[in-house]
Chains A and B, each alone.
Chain A
Amino acid sequence: MTVEHITLTLVLLTFAIYIYIGWWSKVKDTSNFFVAGKEIPAVANGAAIAADWMSAASFISMAGLISFLGYDGTIYLMGWTGGYVLLALLLAPYLRKFGRYTVPDFIGDRYYSNGARAVAAIATLFISLTYVAGQMRGVGIVFSRYLQVEITIGVLIGMTIVAFFAVLGGMKGITWTQVVQYFVLIIAFIIPAVAISLKLTGIPVPQLGLTFSSLAKDLSHLQIELGMNEYLAPFQNLSALNVFAVTLALMIGTAGLPHVIIRFYTVKDVRSARWSAGWAIIFIALLYTTAPAIGVFAKYNLINSFNNEPVEEVRDISWVSKWEETGLLQLDDKNGDGLLTFSGDDTNEVIIDRDIIVLSTPEVAELSPFIIALVAAGGLAAALSTASGLLLAMSSAVSHDLYYRIIKPTASEKQRLAFGRWMIFLAVIVAGYFGMNPPGFVGEVVAFAFGIAAASLFPAIFLGIFDKRMNREGAIWGILSGLSFTVMMILLMRSSQIFGTETQVMESFLGINAQGIGAVGAVINFAVSFIVSRSTKAPPEEISQMVEEIRVPKVSEEKSE
């Protein structure tokens, strides 16, 4: 059996499991559809959160990004996991206590305003849309490389699968498929990492292999020799200010991601919300501490397999030719000496797309075809699990918040469920379109979603819980100013990609780049919210009461009897 056959078998097998779960968990009411009936056990929810939250970017792109950024790659590592701490400590328990279906639900009720609800719903849609595009592109990459199918067809297959279990099973179907997808993706990520660590350092645990061997130092020296940046030294690729700002923006943004937040609505009580946050960070940390090790090992290995090697011999390696076909790897013997030069300057003859670092690791490390197939299935699991969570977040923003809570509050349970299903279906089609016409790099596109989440949703939710005096006016003006600032800055700093201008209209904002601008947006949101709320009238009494109730797991009314 060839690699393609094994891959196909494994991918079909995992897809069959996802479809079976979707069918098994088909739901009949909106509570099950939007929040899985609030009966998901904490550990299972932890795994589902991890799968939901670790996207195609985490699985496919991140280790590659780190291997090119070196030390500065920590923006993704600390940014994405550190934000998780904010989510677990500051938002998750209270939102569970609030106990409705969506993020706009909380913002609309807490700020007694359908205007705030609508703004939050639109922010949710915007964040999820930018984010989902990256997932579908991830699906396309895996299909085109491993099964030699057109990217378009790959995206179509992915869409069909997601549509099936999301439309039928809603949140319940999505949750249980995500639990399975977590295990597929983590096994697929860990096995090649263990193998390559064992091969290069003799230590089977990649985290320890990174720390207790000299490999990282060797790579750092090798990179200096070849005219690349020193791998282990900070601020070689990004300024210290940018590392700080981007890390902070990703942290705050992670905590404000609607598709992750709604996962906490699905557990049975506040205590389970806190514990599922704990399980989730363990599951996430497993991948996030492995990724930097893969970054070092893969880079070291790649340099050694390319630099000063005869170009014809390199091309004979089967994985090299396959990746060259996809255009993600380019070899060009510019000086015609028959040898490849891998360096940091003009003489470089090897161009590697960052997205292939993880996907090619098992082949580079000469692992069995089964492991290579497993990585393909893992990449698909990561992309599909996140896509399904995002689709539900989009569907609930439209069908629950905009349609039911604002436009037609008299809608019956049946109408709402049907509308929710149609919205997921529509969202799948939109996501698919973006997957076929990708707006850019997987990792980079996702980063913008974080900036927007940081500048809009996180401050509004945080203040809604911790500042009793925060009122409607403060929240709305805060969101609008934070959001418009961030969006405008991103548009200006990415104008050549978005509007096709010759150069970017703006290079940076006071030295902070587009990825880090969300941190500034969040600060603006906080400041405007505070000033406006203090100069307008306090929220009504029942809202203060509601905040009091959110703050404790149980309002102790039984005690008085």
Chain B
Amino acid sequence: MVKNEQNISEKQREYWKKNIRLIITLLIIWASVSLFGAIIMANPFSNIPFFGVPFSFWLAQQGSIIVFVCLIFFYAIKMDRLDEQYDVKEVILTEKDKKGDES
């Protein structure tokens, strides 16, 4: 299926590496907001006021969710660009491919 294997796998490998790096960065933010910030640091952060509520409470019940939304959108936007850059943007399936798909 894959012609010109050497060249393509080189490019694909690089694409994959960048993808992994992006995922790891985002998951570090994910964990530090939720598991670390809102649970491990819950007690110390309770003493920091955030408007009407303690900061850790706000982080646990509001802030972390807002961060999650940003992470997923950031990933979608960033990956769109990466697809473009590495020319791996998916082409919409032709009729023939669709048939092959249902096998």
Contacts and interface: CB of A to CB of B under 8 A. Distances in A.
A212 B76 contact: no
Contacts of A461: none
Interface string A523-561: 000000000000000000000010011011111111110
Contacts of B3: 557, 560
Interface string A448-464: 00000000000000000
Size category, A interface:
35 or more
Interface of B is mostly: helix
Given A248-B35, A559-B4, A84 B72 contact: yes
Given A99-B101, A278-B76, A557 B1 contact: yes
Nearest to B8: A556
Contacts of B88: 552-554, 556
Interface string B85-103: 0111111100000000110
Interface centre among B11, B39, B86, by most chain A C-beta atoms within 10 angstroms, is B39
B39 to A, nearest CB: 5
Interface residues of B, number: 57
Contacts of B92: 268-269
A74 interface: yes
A35 B22 CA distance: 29
A556 B58 contact: no
A85 B69 CA distance: 8
A127 interface: no
Interface in B41-93: 42-43, 46, 50-54, 56-58, 60-62, 64-66, 68-69, 71-73, 75-76, 79-80, 83, 86-92
Interface of B: 1-4, 7-9, 11-12, 15-16, 19, 23, 26-27, 30, 34-35, 38-40, 42-43, 46, 50-54, 56-58, 60-62, 64-66, 68-69, 71-73, 75-76, 79-80, 83, 86-92, 101-102
Interface of A: 30-31, 66, 71, 73-74, 77-78, 81-82, 84-86, 88-90, 93, 97, 99, 207, 210-217, 232-235, 240, 243-244, 247-248, 251, 268-271, 274-275, 277-278, 281-282, 285, 288-289, 292, 545, 548-549, 551-560
